[in-house]
Structure 1
Amino acid sequence: MEFLALRKQDLAVKNNSQLPCDTYKYLTWLKLKEHDVQGSQIRCPRVREGPSEEELFMRGEALMWQRKEKLTERERWQERLQENWENCVNVNLSFQCLGDEFQQNNFHRILRRLIRVERLWLVDNSLTDLSAIKLPRCKELNVSKNHFTSFKQLPKIPQIQHLSLAENNIETLSGLSDLRQAPLESLVLKTNPCEFQENYRLQ
C-alpha cells in the first residue's frame, strides 16, 4: 500500500509539472552532463546541491531526485579541475539557500579554493563565521544580508578595498582595527545594530 501511495504521488507530481526543465531544477551546473564549462567561466553558478531523497519525498517531488553515482578517484579529480575555483576572479555565490550543514560545508570547501578571487558576492547565504577562510587577493567583498555579529567572523582579506556588511547583526565596532592594515576605501554597515552606538560615525 505504501508503494502504491508513493507511486500515485510520483505520477501526480509528473502530471502537475509546469515545465519540462523541472527535473533539472536541483542540479548544480557541474552535474549537467556533456559540457566543458569551467567555474572560472561563469559569474553566478549554483553550487548548492539539491535536497536529499527523503526531503524530496516529503515535498512530493520524488521525481526530481537524481541518484548519486559513486565517483572514481579519476572522475573526482576531473570534476575538481572542471570546477576550477582556483582561477576564478569575479564570482557571485549569493542566494544559495544553505539550510543544511552539508550544504554549508560544501560552500566553505569552495570558498577555501578561491585563492585568486578579486570580487566576491555572498549575499543572503545565512553565513555566520568565515574566519577560517583566506581570500588573499580579494578587493571587493559583499556579505550583506547574512548573520555576522562581529568583524572577527570575516575572512582574512588583506587587500580589501570595498566591503559591504549591510543588514547583518554587528553590534560593536570592536575588531574594526584589523581592517586598518588593508587599503580599505569604503565600508557599508547600514542596518546593523552598531549604527546606534555613540560616536558611530566618528569611529
Structure 2
Amino acid sequence: MSESSSGVNTLSGSFPKSHSSQFSEVGVTRAALSVDPSPDSGLVTTPLPSSRFRFVSWHRLEQCNVTGDQLTCPRVREGAPDMRKAPASPLNDLIFFIGGPSEEDLFLRQGADLYLDRGRKRREEEGQRWEERLQENWENCSELNLSYQDLGDPYQQDNFFRILRRLIRVEKLQLIDNSLTNLSSVRLPRCRMLNAHRNHLVCLRQLPKLPAVEHLCLSENAISSLEGLGALRNSPLTSLNLTRNPVTFTQDYRARVFSCLPNLQVLDGISKMPEDSVPPKLKGPENTRMCNIF
C-alpha cells in the first residue's frame, strides 16, 4: 500500500473521513485533490465516487451527496455562479479559486442577449409585415370595392388611406358611403372610374389625383363650388355626376362645367346639349348668381 505526497491513499478506493474537515480547517491549500493518471508516474488510479457527477454544473453540486475529498479535476461550466462568494463549506474550500463569470460579465452578457433578442424580434416583425403586404397585394389590384366602411377610429382611417395609396394599378374603384372628407393625398394614376357617392367632400380640390379618369361620380356630397374643377381639364373625363350637391344650383351650372371640361359628354346623367356649349360669359352678368329655391 502506497501513499502519495498529499497524504491520500491512491491504491484503495476510500479516503480518510477526517480529511475534508481537516482540509477546511487548515485552509492553506486552495487546490482540488487530483491523481496523476499518466503511465509515467507509476501510480494506479481507481474511479472516484464523484465520477458520476462530472457533468453536473457547480451550482448543483451542493444538492448531491458528495464531499470535498471526493472531487478531482473540477470543471468550470458556462453560466456557473461565482463560487468566490458562496458560503464556506468543505466543498467550496476546494473550489474556492474556480468560479463562473462575474456579475459584471453576466450583466454584459444578459445585455447582449437582450439586444440580440430585440433584433431577432424586430426582424421577425418586419418579415411578418412584409408577408402581410404580399398577401394583400394591393399594388396589382385592378378593380376594388371599398364601400360602406366604418372609419370611426383614427387607426381605421390611417389604414384605409394606406391602402388607397398603394392602388397604383386600380382602374375601377368604389368608395360609396365612407364619410370621406379629403382625398387630396391619394394618387390613382390608372383609375378610369371612381365612384365616391354619398361622402362628405365639400370642394373639388379634395379629390384624388386622377390623370386617367373617364367616369367620375360625386353625387350626394357637400360640394358647393366648382373651384378645383380645372384639375380635370387635361383628363379624358367623359362622364361626371354632381347631383344632390349645392353646386348644382349655381347659375349656368351646366355651361360652366362643360366650358371647363372640353372632353365631357355626360353631366348628371344628361348628355351634352347645344345650349351647354354656349360660354357662360355671353349670357350676361347673371352667371355668377345662385338660383335659390324656396
2:133 match: secondary structure: helix
1:126 aligns with 2:174: no
Structure 2 counterpart of 1:88, one-letter code: C
User: For residues 193 and 171 of structure 1, what CA distance do their matches in structure 2 show?
Assistant: 5
2:159 match: secondary structure: helix
User: For residues 170 and 157 of structure 1, what CA distance do their matches in structure 2 show?
Assistant: 18
Provide the residue aligned with 1:111 in structure 2.
164
Provide the residue aligned with 2:249 in structure 1.
196
Provide the residue aligned with 1:91 in structure 2.
144
Structure 2 counterpart of 1:115, one-letter code: I
Deviation readout 1:35-64 (Å, 9 max, x if unpaired)? xxxxxxxxxxxxxxxxxxxxxxxxxxxxxx
Identity of aligned residues (%): 57
Q: What is the aligned counterpart of 2:232 among 174, 179, 189? A: 179
How far the C-alpha of 1:175 sits from its partner, in A, is: 1.2
1:76 match: secondary structure: helix
Structure 2 counterpart of 1:112, one-letter code: R
Provide the residue aligned with 1:140 in structure 2.
193
Structure 1 counterpart of 2:129, one-letter code: R
1:202 match: secondary structure: helix
TM-score normalised by length of structure 2: 0.45
TM-score normalised by length of structure 1: 0.64
Larger Rg: 2
User: For residues 103 and 126 of structure 1, what CA distance do their matches in structure 2 show?
Assistant: 12
Structure 2 counterpart of 1:114, one-letter code: L
User: For residues 161 and 120 of structure 1, what CA distance do their matches in structure 2 show?
Assistant: 12
- Pairs within 5 Å for 1:1-203: 72-203=125-256
2:135 match: secondary structure: helix
How far the C-alpha of 1:202 sits from its partner, in A, is: 1.0
| Runs of 5+ unmatched residues, structure 2 | 1-121, 257-294
User: For residues 136 and 151 of structure 2, what CA distance do their matches in structure 1 show?
Assistant: 19
Kindly indicate whether structure 1 or structure 2 has the higher relative contact order, using CA contacts under 8 Å at least 6 residues apart.
1
RMSD: 1.2
Aligned length: 134
Q: Which runs of 4+ in 1 moved over 2 A?
A: none
User: For residues 190 and 202 of structure 2, what CA distance do their matches in structure 1 show?
Assistant: 24
How far the C-alpha of 1:177 sits from its partner, in A, is: 1.2
How far the C-alpha of 1:120 sits from its partner, in A, is: 0.3
